[in-house]
């Protein structure tokens, strides 16, 4: 039965938009009747160029290359869209992208320069990569993050808790983050007072925090001259709510207490997974839906359990069931969402419909990880940053060994693009930027980035090997906008080039123009 379900999901029904098909995807089944009932006409289907760009950014975290675009376009296979998903999901860069995503989600989009002292990035990122690659069941993923104890290299999931441990106070951030990320609930207001409008009490907040009361990290020198850190549990116990006389013992939101205080992590993980009939699965489905569709059923992602009702509760439940039946498989969700017709709709705002109808794809900003990959590809930003920061981090003799690896370096790269995208601000969730003055100034004017747009470097150097102006224009378009120019555009740029005597500088102007264009910045 389950196999059959997955088989049906994978059926390639949208290779050609024109072909009338019986649509068996649960998402489409739902929306087709919803749109009909609401008398909404959905947007047209994307063409191949739009689809490939969107898919490669959403699933692979990067732009498609001109070669990929041409091959995809030329491919006559009716299943090519579904097959592209299968190909992408296996790629090394896709695995890296999802590890990056999880790192950002688990650390709540905030890194600190001191993180590599507490966290061993190679093992943690390595584990995140393996989890995606092997489609580690999500319930096990969560359990390991909450309950694993031991050496941070041998038990990589421990790095999550280690990141939040401080010698001074219990890791209160962990309480709010675990409930936000794993359950989609916000209980942190209850840290200081009973929540005014929701059900959370201070006891709820500190009851979870008390589970962490016995956690400690212990560093020791290794024979190889490095450091090893171990997470262990002295046993959770009684604690006082700060500034009050209230004593509190480990207690989950539903009042359950751990059976064995020294192994309370295992119980805590179980409480999370069992809470409200598998709320953790619903929260994950909502998160992944928001990632691909540009808006969660519940928005913001952590507003579950409030007065906010999901935009489509029935579909959310259906998808959650499917997720649970699949054995908490993230890949199954991806394979359900991405081939759906709903995912493949165009994103123009020509017809005014509410965002919640999903009768068009919502315009999405690139998140910092996607944007890092985009700039690394189009401007070789990674090379540039490495030249600039290598001595500061990777080769800095003053830093401990745990800093000198590619994963830590990548974290700094994330910080770099995050700073560009949301100037001086954090990106609370994935869709939180557009219109950064700092980014505009940098892309327009920065001397080093200008160098990267030159005909003597990187992409434009490659493109200039083409002979005809029209071929070069097309190649610039494919590289940056993942589509060929329209006829009007082609004419406009050819006229410009002719006026400039086809000088190399004029090509740099064209490259500059598309790099700074609004279309380039967005995922549409």
Rounded to 5°, angle at Cα 401 from 400 and 406: 120
Task: Please choose, out of 14-22, 152-160, 172-180, 225-233, the segment that lies near another protein by the rule CB under 8 A.
Answer: 172-180
> Does position 12 bind another protein by CB under 8 A?
no
Q: Closer to another protein at the Cβ: 82 or 283?
A: 283
CB-based burial label for 488 (10 Å; 0-12, 13-18, 19+): exposed
Task: Please choose, out of 156-164, 379-387, 396-404, 442-450, the segment that lies near another protein by the rule CB under 8 A.
Answer: 442-450
Among residues 165, 300, 357, 380, the one that binds another protein under rule CB under 8 A:
300
* Minimum distance, C-beta of residue 110 to another protein, in the bound complex (Å): 8
> Does position 439 bind another protein by CB under 8 A?
yes
CB 520 within 8 A of CB 366: no
Torsions phi, psi for 74 (to 5 deg): -75, -20
* Minimum distance, C-beta of residue 146 to another protein, in the bound complex (Å): 19
Q: Closer to another protein at the Cβ: 405 or 454?
A: 454
> Does position 295 bind another protein by CB under 8 A?
no
Query: What character string, x for contact with another protein (CB under 8 A) and - otherwise, covers 111-140?
Result: -x----------------------------
Q: Closer to another protein at the Cβ: 380 or 446?
A: 446
Q: How many residues bind another protein (CB under 8 A)?
A: 61
> Does position 513 bind another protein by CB under 8 A?
yes
Task: Please choose, out of 126-134, 329-337, 406-414, 444-452, the segment that lies near another protein by the rule CB under 8 A.
Answer: 444-452
CB 208 within 8 A of CB 253: yes
> Does position 440 bind another protein by CB under 8 A?
yes
- Residue 363: which of 435, 255, 270 has the closest Cα? 435
- What separation, in Å, do the N-terminal and C-terminal C-alpha atoms of the chain show? 36
Quick one: tokens of 76? 């006559």
Torsions phi, psi for 365 (to 5 deg): -75, 155
H/E element, 125: helix 121-133
> Does position 244 bind another protein by CB under 8 A?
no
- Residue 283: which of 260, 265, 299, 267 has the closest Cα? 299
Query: What character string, x for contact with another protein (CB under 8 A) and - otherwise, covers 14-53?
Result: ----------------------------------------
* Minimum distance, C-beta of residue 200 to another protein, in the bound complex (Å): 12
Strand partners, 228: 220
> Does position 514 bind another protein by CB under 8 A?
yes
CB-based burial label for 290 (10 Å; 0-12, 13-18, 19+): buried
Among residues 324, 394, 434, 494, the one that binds another protein under rule CB under 8 A:
434
Q: Closer to another protein at the Cβ: 103 or 439?
A: 439
Among residues 363, 399, 455, 470, the one that binds another protein under rule CB under 8 A:
363
Q: Closer to another protein at the Cβ: 110 or 154?
A: 110
Can you give the three-state secondary structure of 417-481, one letter per residue? HHHHHCCCCCCCCCCCCCCCHHHHHHHHHCHHHHHHCCCCCHHHHHHCCCCCHHHHHHHHHHHHH
Query: What character string, x for contact with another protein (CB under 8 A) and - otherwise, covers 52-81?
Result: ------------------------------
Q: Quick count: other Cβ atoms within 10 Å of Cβ 134?
A: 10
Residues 386-425 that bind another protein (CB under 8 A): 419, 422-425
Residues 489-508 that bind another protein (CB under 8 A): 489, 492-493, 496, 505
Q: 48-60 vs 66-74: helix axis angle to the nearest 10? A: 130
Q: Quick count: other Cβ atoms within 10 Å of Cβ 91?
A: 15
Q: Closer to another protein at the Cβ: 92 or 168?
A: 168
CA distances from residue 60 to 88, 202, 376 in whole angstroms, order as listed? 6, 41, 14
Kindly list the residues in this chain that would bind another protein in the complex (CB under 8 A): 108, 110, 112, 166, 168, 176-177, 180, 186, 188-189, 299-300, 303, 347-350, 363, 365, 419, 422-426, 428, 432-442, 444-447, 450, 486, 489, 492-493, 496, 505, 509-510, 512-514, 516-519, 521-522, 524
């Amino acid at each position: 039965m389950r196999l059959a379900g997955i088989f049906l999901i994978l059926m390639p029904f949208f290779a050609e938009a024109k072909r009338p098909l019986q649509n068996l995807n649960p998402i489409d089944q739902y929306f087709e009747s919803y749109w009909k009932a609401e008398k909404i006409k959905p947007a047209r289907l994307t063409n191949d160029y739009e689809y490939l760009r969107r898919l490669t950014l959403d699933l692979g975290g990067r732009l498609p290359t001109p070669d990929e675009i041409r091959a995809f376009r030329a491919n006559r296979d009716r299943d090519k869209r579904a097959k592209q998903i299968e190909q992408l999901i296996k790629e090394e860069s896709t695995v890296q992208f999802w590890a990056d995503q999880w790192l950002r989600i688990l650390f709540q989009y905030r890194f600190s320069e001191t993180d590599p002292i507490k966290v061993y990035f190679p093992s943690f990122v390595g584990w995140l990569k393996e989890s995606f690659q092997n489609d580690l069941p999500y319930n096990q993923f969560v359990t390991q993050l909450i309950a694993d104890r031991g050496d941070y290299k041998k038990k990589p999931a421990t790095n999550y808790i280690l990141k939040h441990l401080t010698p001074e106070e219990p890791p209160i951030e962990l309480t709010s983050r675990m409930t936000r990320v794993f359950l989609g609930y916000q209980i942190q207001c209850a840290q200081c007072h009973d929540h005014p409008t929701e059900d959370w009490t201070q006891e709820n907040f500190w009851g979870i925090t008390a589970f962490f009361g016995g956690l400690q990290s212990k560093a020791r020198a290794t024979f190889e001259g490095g450091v090893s850190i171990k997470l262990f549990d002295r046993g959770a116990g009684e604690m006082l709510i700060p500034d009050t006389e209230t004593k509190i013992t480990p207690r989950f939101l539903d009042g359950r207490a751990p059976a064995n205080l020294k192994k309370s992590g295992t119980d805590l993980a179980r409480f999370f997974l069992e809470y409200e009939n598998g709320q953790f699965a619903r929260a994950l489905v909502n998160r992944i839906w928001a990632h691909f569709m540009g808006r969660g059923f519940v928005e913001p992602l952590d507003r579950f359990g409030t007065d906010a009702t999901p935009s489509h509760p029935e579909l959310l439940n259906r998808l959650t069931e499917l997720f649970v039946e699949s054995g908490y498989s993230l890949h199954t969700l991806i394979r359900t969402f991405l081939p759906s017709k709903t995912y493949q709709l165009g994103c123009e705002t020509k017809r005014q419909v509410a965002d919640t109808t999903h009768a068009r794809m919502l315009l999405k900003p690139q998140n910092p990880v996607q944007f890092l990959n985009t700039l690394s590809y189009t401007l070789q930003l990674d090379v540039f940053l490495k030249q600039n920061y290598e001595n500061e981090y990777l080769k800095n003799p003053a830093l401990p060994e745990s800093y000198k690896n590619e994963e830590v370096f990548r974290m700094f790269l994330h910080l770099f693009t995050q700073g560009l995208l949301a100037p001086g601000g954090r990106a609370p969730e994935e869709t939180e930027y557009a219109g950064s003055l700092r980014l505009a100034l940098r892309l327009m004017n920065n001397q080093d980035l200008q160098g990267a747009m030159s005909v003597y470097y990187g992409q434009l150097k490659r493109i200039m090997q083409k002979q005809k102006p029209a071929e070069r224009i097309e190649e610039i378009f494919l590289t940056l906008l993942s589509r060929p120019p329209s006829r009007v555009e082609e004419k406009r740029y050819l006229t410009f080039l002719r006026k400039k005597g086809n000088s190399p500088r004029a090509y740099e102007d064209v490259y500059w123009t598309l790099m700074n264009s609004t279309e380039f910045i967005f995922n549409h």
